[in-house]
Amino acid sequence: MSSQAPAARRWYRLDNAANVYPAVRSKTRPGLFRVSATLNEPVQPDLLQQALGDTLRRIPSFSVRMRSGLFWHYFRHAEDELTIQEDVRNPCMGLSARKDKGFQIRVRYHDRRIALEVFHSVSDGSGTLAFLKTLTARYLWKCGIAIPATHGVLDCDQPAQPAEAADDFDAFAGRSTPRGRREARAYHVSGTRVPHLTLNITTGTLPVGAVKEEARRYGVSITEYLTACYLHILNSIQASEHRRRPLPVKVQVPVNLRRFHPSETLRNFSSYVTPGIDPTHGEYSFEEILSLVHHFMRYEVTDKHLRSRVAANTRTEQHALIRITPLFLKNRLINLGYQLSGPAIYTSVMTNLGMVQVPPEMAEHVATFDFHLGPSYTTNVDCGVLGYRDKLRINFTRVIHEPIVERAFFTFLVRQGIPVKVESNSE
């Protein structure tokens, strides 16, 4: 970790997880995700622009442009101003050199909504949420509402902290033995592909209390409960296709490593686990899946196992042969590795950012938060979950026409006795 203040840093190394995304970025794999906050009042663009300038000065690791070195990509600090844009119906599309001026994030507004779309090399869900909370708090401050710097909101009048731009993967992995990454190919939901630059979003709003009550009834956490529901309906969808040889159904669940390691970083610091079932072993009831997911998560989401998983990536990055390989060859190697052990080995992603905590003064002015994953043309459907106040927002992003997954998922929850309100961006 550098002792130099990030505000003065001209460039940043990409963290361990971030190195993958520029190598595999393409027109159909833009690598963006989005968090957004819907306020109670319409957004004033000029104040939001000012607030963005202050927030980027406070969190300079988001004010960067991607550059290619001889051996690795790196981030060059951008001194100029990022301009906010009007929101669109199809978010998370690839960053444009002209419209986004080479920045790796974009900030959009529409009516009462402030949205932040981030290229995954810059940060993970938690870091991005911290940026959005700080941006929203600063915007409210510009509107004359004082928001204290608590509950993950950073004080824009303070200087940037070096620890916030640190790559903590190496420190977390320590001397742990790396584990293998080989996993069997998983089932993927199929459907009629939508035209390029289309992203169907279906949002379900659920009362947190009802979901918590249902999860408690089975003795599991909310993430475990939702993952089991997801696996159950994905398994049913595969069963309805009557495949001669069904493939394993697995869901990738990202894990925030900040829970296991003292870290203040706002860059990537997460790993993942992939609970799943193999339908060739027989039929699974929902209770069986729930029990499997529960025990799998308790076994895998532990300090030791996660260290071992992260060590596999950090050791690869530190390998002498990998380090001296020129970037253009390295990109091809990373791409090959991604084809083998990327989305091919899981059916879909379900990311739960957890309950969003904000200062009470800010909660009065923010109606909802949302979290959307970008388009994936391998999994076709992905899911982002986030809780705020008494509501759980489940956002499905899909690049096929048929909303089979969302329908199966939400109707399953309704049958479980959880009321669901559904809205969509489809025209």
C-beta of residue 238 within 8 angstroms of C-beta of residue 278: no
**Which residues does residue 35 pair with via DSSP β-bridges, in sequence order?**
116, 371
Q: Closer to another protein by CB, 111 or 303: give it.
A: 111
Q: Closer to another protein by CB, 103 or 346: give it.
A: 103
Minimum distance between the CB of residue 312 and another protein, rounded to whole angstroms? 29
Contact positions vs another protein (CB under 8 A) = 27, 68, 86-91, 93-94, 96, 98-99, 110-112, 196-197, 202, 204, 328, 403, 406-407, 410-411, 414-415, 419-426
Minimum distance between the CB of residue 307 and another protein, rounded to whole angstroms? 36
Q: Closer to another protein by CB, 7 or 422: give it.
A: 422
d(CA 272, CA 258): 13
Letter for the amino acid at 226?
L
Single out the residue of 122, 130, 165, 168 nearest to residue 6, CA to CA: 165
Q: Closer to another protein by CB, 4 or 426: give it.
A: 426
Minimum distance between the CB of residue 409 and another protein, rounded to whole angstroms? 9
Q: Closer to another protein by CB, 97 or 321: give it.
A: 97
Q: Closer to another protein by CB, 301 or 399: give it.
A: 399
Q: Closer to another protein by CB, 53 or 191: give it.
A: 191
Minimum distance between the CB of residue 65 and another protein, rounded to whole angstroms? 12
Minimum distance between the CB of residue 98 and another protein, rounded to whole angstroms? 7
Crossing angle between the packed helical segments 286-300 and 208-218, to the nearest 10 degrees: 90
Q: What burial class does residue 198 get, using C-beta atoms within 10 Å of its C-beta: 0-12 exposed, 13-18 middle, 19+ buried?
A: middle
Minimum distance between the CB of residue 89 and another protein, rounded to whole angstroms? 5
Token pair listed for 312: 């596999």
Minimum distance between the CB of residue 82 and another protein, rounded to whole angstroms? 17
Distance of CA 143 to the CA centre of its chain: 29
Q: Which H helix or E strand runs over 252?
A: strand 249-256
Taking every pair of Cα atoms in the chain, the longest distance, rounded to a whole number of angstroms, is 63
Minimum distance between the CB of residue 285 and another protein, rounded to whole angstroms? 22
Residue whose structure tokens are 């479980």: 416
Q: Please give the full DSSP string across 171-220, using - where no structure is assigned.
A: HHHTTPPP-------------PBPPTT--EEEEEEEEHHHHHHHHHHHT-
| Phi/psi at 400 (5° precision) | -120, 160
Crossing angle between the packed helical segments 286-300 and 303-318, to the nearest 10 degrees: 60
Q: Closer to another protein by CB, 67 or 259: give it.
A: 67
